[in-house]
Structure 1
Amino acid sequence: MSKLVCSLLFLCLLPAVVPLFCYTCVFPAISPLDCIRFPLKCPPGQVCLSSRAVGEKGDFRVVLYEKSCILPSMCGVTGQKHTMGLNFTFTNECCSTHLCNGAARPAAPFWTGTLLTLLISILVW
């Protein structure tokens, strides 16, 4: 009988020790492209992040997307950052199931590869 109780207890506690996997981007994606995603094992206590940042300077506007793991206290946070001469307003959205931050925005996979190739060729030259 004690083996049965131990087995049931183990099965009940199993989800608590299984790590959460979320997608991460190789580099932040510039709209309308989607990022190149890879699964990432999150540290204990973290959840999946999908972040959107809109950068503006005058009439110039760019939208960046990022995916990763994050502390739950950063979920639902909206704020501002200044980088690369642009003022960015970001919004963090979180979820807590395996690979839940993988929903793709409308994107052209061909253009993702083309952009990556162009960036690499520029950096190499």
Structure 2
Amino acid sequence: MLQLVLLLLLLPAVVPLFCYTCVFPTIAPLQCIGFPLQCPEGQVCLSSTAVGQEGDFRVMINERSCILRSLCSVSGEKHIMGLNFTFTNDCCDSHLCNGAAVPAAPYWLATVLTLLASYTFK
């Protein structure tokens, strides 16, 4: 009985939350290449989608990570790659609840990295 009490005392008081985090944000129809990451205390899981449109050209960027609870359900605008995007933050607070999709095919990864590099190093 004493061993059980000692074991319970050694367990952490707060169980850490794990969320999927994208290696980098992805442009639809590509899927997030995600991996589980332990969130800092007080943060929850984020799944965010940003939509940018210029005429008939429309781009969706998907992102997953950990975020402060105060930033949940926030919508707004941000400027990325020369486009104005509207975004919405959706949060959840159970393990891996922000559901990273199946990793994209390797040739898609190369395409996205090339696109991101061309905009980053201009």
TM-score (norm 2): 0.78
Match of 2:67 in 1: 70
Which of 90, 98, 102 aligns to 1:101? It is: 98
Larger Rg: 1
Match of 2:107 in 1: 114
What is the rounded CA distance, in whole Å, between the counterparts of 2:43 and 2:103 in structure 1? Answer: 30
Distance 1:45 1:39, change over 3 A: same
Work out whether residues 57 and 85 of structure 1, in 8 Å CA contact, stay in contact via their aligned partners in 2: no
What is the rounded CA distance, in whole Å, between the counterparts of 1:65 and 1:38 in structure 2? Answer: 14
Please give the residue correspondences for 1:50-61 in structure 2 after superposition, counting only pairs within 5 Å. Answer: 50-61=47-58
Distance 1:22 1:85, change over 3 A: same
Query: Which structure's residues are more often helix, by fraction?
Result: 1
Distance 1:88 1:120, change over 3 A: closer
| Pairing 1:47–2:44 present | yes
TM-score (norm 1): 0.76
Gaps of 5+ in 1: none
Number of equivalenced pairs? 116
More divergent stretch after superposition (27-36 vs 87-96): 27-36
Determine helix, strand or coil for the equivalent of 2:62. Answer: strand
Work out whether residues 49 and 93 of structure 1, in 8 Å CA contact, stay in contact via their aligned partners in 2: yes
Distance 1:85 1:99, change over 3 A: same
% same residue: 63
Gaps of 5+ in 2: 118-122
Per-residue deviation, 1:38: 0.8
